C-alpha cells in the first residue's frame, strides 16, 4: 500500500530522464510540446490525490494526532456510509498505533501519508472502535505492515459478516460494485472483551469495551497521560447519530460514565474533538429524543404522528439531517417494546 501511495508522486529523477529522452532528436518546439505533454499526463494523478477529499490533522497532545475529514458525501465506497469518519494515530517509540481507519482505503491513504510526514516507523497496531464501515473500511491500507488489528469480539464478528455479505450486495447492484471497486473489508485479528492496555512504551493506551451502544461491540481508546479519549460512534459532535439497535438508555449511561473519566479531549466518530461539555450536549440530545418519543407513545400517538411533530429536529440543526427519521424510528421501536440489550459495566477510571 505504501508503494501504491508513492505512484501519485513520481520521483523527479525518473521524470527528468523520461522528458530528456523524449526531447532528443526533436526540434526545440517539439521538445517543448513533449515536455508540456508530460506535464499534462502528470496532472490527473495530482487531481485524483486531491479529489479524495479535504481534511486536516490536529495534534491533540505530543505524538497524538487526529485526522478530521470535511463533511463530504463521497462517491467512492459504501453509499450507506458516504461520510468519512475521524481517525487517529499515536506515534510511540515502538511504532505507530492507528485508531479507526475512516470509510475507505482512499481516505486511509491520506492518514498513512500524514503519518509518513512525521515518522518512518511501522504501524504496529490498528484499533477499530466500531464495526461501522465509516470507521473501519480503511483497515486494508495498513496490511503491508502486518499490524495487529484490535476490536471487541462483537465488532470482529460484525465486520466478518459485512465482508461475507458484500459479494451478494455487489452482484445485485452494479452501481455499488463500481463504487466499492478496490475496497477489501479487513477483519480484526485480535479481540478484547475487557479493559486492556497495549504494550507500548511512553504512552499508556487503554482499550475499553463499551457494550451495546450504536451497535454491539463499540469500544473506547483512552490515553490517560494525554487525557484524550477516542469514543468512536458513541459520541457524535453536532452530527445526528446512527442509533440502530443500540439501547438508548444504556447509551446515555455510557456517556455519563465517560464524562466522569479523567480526560480533557473526547474525539467523536464525526465532528471536531470536544470536551466534557460537548459530550454532555450530545448526551442531552439523546435524553431529549428518548423523552420526546416516550411521552408521545404514552399519549397513544403513532410513529407517523410523532414524525409529524418532531421532524425535522428544530433545536438540533446538526450535520447528517437525513438520519433524523431513522433515529426517531429506532427510539420508537425501543420504547414500544424492543428488548433492552445487555451492556458491559464500565469503571469510572478504566484501567
User: Considering the chain, what percentage of its residues have pLDDT values greater than 70?
Assistant: 80
Region 203-223: what's the mean pLDDT?
87
pLDDT at res. 24:
38
User: Quick one: pLDDT band at residue 144, thresholds 50, 70, 90?
Assistant: very high
CA dihedral 111, 117, 123, 127 (to 10 degrees): -30
Domains of the chain by range and CATH? 2-51 (no CATH), 55-335 (3.60.15.10)
Judged by average pLDDT, the poorest of 59-73, 86-100, 212-226, 310-324 is 212-226
pLDDT at res. 201:
87
- pLDDT at residue 308 tops 90: yes
Distances (CA, A) of 350 to 194, 205, 222, 263: 10, 11, 8, 11
Sequence-distant (≥ 6) Cβ neighbours of residue 83 within 8 angstroms? 71, 72, 73, 74, 103, 134, 270, 319, 320
pLDDT at res. 215:
64
First-to-last C-alpha distance (Å) of the chain: 34
User: Quick one: pLDDT band at residue 21, thresholds 50, 70, 90?
Assistant: very low
* Mean pLDDT, the chain, integer: 84
Indicate the burial class of 75 (C-beta count within 10 angstroms; 0-12, 13-18, 19 or more). Answer: exposed
As a whole number of angstroms, the distance between CA 14 and CA 210 comes to 51
As a whole number of angstroms, the distance between CA 58 and CA 54 comes to 14
- The whole-model pTM stands at 0.82
Helices then strands, counting H and E runs in the chain, come out as 11, 12
pLDDT at res. 349:
52
- pLDDT at residue 236 tops 80: yes
pLDDT in tens, 78-125: 999 999 999 999 999 999 999 999 999 999 999 999 999 999 999 999
Judged by average pLDDT, the poorest of 2-11, 82-91, 111-120, 263-272 is 2-11
Residue entry with cell 469480539:
153
pLDDT at res. 214:
54
pLDDT at res. 211:
80
Q: CA angle at residue 126 from 146 to 221, to 5 degrees?
A: 160
Between 41 and 81, name the one with better pLDDT: 81
User: Quick one: pLDDT band at residue 271, thresholds 50, 70, 90?
Assistant: very high
pLDDT at res. 206:
98
pLDDT at res. 213:
63
- pLDDT at residue 136 tops 70: yes
Q: CA angle at residue 43 from 37 to 46, to 5 degrees?
A: 160
Count of Cβ atoms closer than 10 Å to residue 181 Cβ: 9
Q: Are strands 87-92 and 95-101 parallel, antiparallel or unpaired?
A: antiparallel
Region 262-284: what's the mean pLDDT?
98
pLDDT at res. 212:
66
pLDDT at res. 246:
84
Q: What secondary structure does DSSP assign to 207-244, as a single string?
A: EEEEEESSSEEEEEEEETTTTEEEEETT--SSB----T
DSSP state of 197: E
Amino acid at each position: 500500500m505504501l508503494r501504491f501511495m508513492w505512484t501519485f508522486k513520481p520521483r523527479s529523477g525518473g521524470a527528468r530522464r523520461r522528458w530528456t529522452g523524449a526531447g532528443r532528436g526533436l526540434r526545440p518546439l517539439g521538445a517543448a510540446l513533449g515536455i508540456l505533454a508530460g506535464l499534462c499526463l502528470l496532472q490527473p494523478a495530482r487531481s485524483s490525490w486531491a479529489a479524495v477529499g479535504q481534511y486536516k490533522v490536529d495534534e491533540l497532545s505530543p505524538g497524538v494526532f487526529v485526522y478530521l475529514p470535511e463533511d463530504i458525501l463521497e462517491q467512492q465506497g459504501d453509499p450507506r456510509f458516504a461520510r468519512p469518519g475521524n481517525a487517529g494515530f499515536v506515534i510511540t517509540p515502538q511504532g505507530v498505533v492507528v485508531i479507526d481507519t475512516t470509510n475507505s482505503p482512499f481516505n486511509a491513504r491520506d492518514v498513512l501519508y500524514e503519518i509518513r510526514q512525521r515518522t518512518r516507523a511501522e504501524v504496529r497496531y490498528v484499533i477499530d472502535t466500531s464495526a461501522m464501515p465509516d470507521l473501519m473500511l480503511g483497515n486494508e491500507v495498513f496490511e503491508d505492515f502486518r499490524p495487529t488489528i484490535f476490536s471487541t469480539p462483537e465488532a470482529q464478528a460484525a465486520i466478518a459478516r459485512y465482508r461475507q455479505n458484500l459479494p451478494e450486495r455487489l452482484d445485485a447492484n452494479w452501481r455499488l460494485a463500481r463504487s466499492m471497486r478496490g475496497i477489501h473489508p479487513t477483519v480484526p485479528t485480535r479481540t478484547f472483551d475487557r479493559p486492556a492496555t497495549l504494550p507500548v512504551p511512553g504512552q499508556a493506551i487503554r482499550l475499553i469495551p463499551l457494550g451495546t451502544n450504536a451497535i454491539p461491540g463499540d469500544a473506547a481508546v483512552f490515553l490517560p497521560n494525554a487525557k484524550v479519549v477516542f469514543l468512536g460512534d458513541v459520541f457524535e459532535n453536532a452530527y445526528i447519530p446512527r442509533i440502530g439497535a443500540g439501547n438508548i438508555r444504556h447509551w446515555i449511561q455510557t456517556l455519563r460514565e465517560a464524562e466522569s473519566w479523567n480526560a480533557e479531549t473526547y474525539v467523536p466518530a464525526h465532528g471536531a474533538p470536544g470536551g466534557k461539555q460537548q459530550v454532555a450536549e450530545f448526551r442531552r440530545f439523546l435524553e431529549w429524543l428518548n423523552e420526546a418519543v416516550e411521552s408521545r407513545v404514552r399519549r397513544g400517538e403513532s410513529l407517523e404522528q410523532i414524525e409529524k411533530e418532531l421532524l425535522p429536529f428544530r433545536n438540533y440543526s446538526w450535520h447528517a439531517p437525513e438520519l433524523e427519521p431513522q433515529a426517531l424510528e429506532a427510539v420508537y421501536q425501543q420504547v414500544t417494546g424492543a428488548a433492552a440489550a445487555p451492556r458491559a459495566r464500565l469503571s469510572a477510571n478504566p484501567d
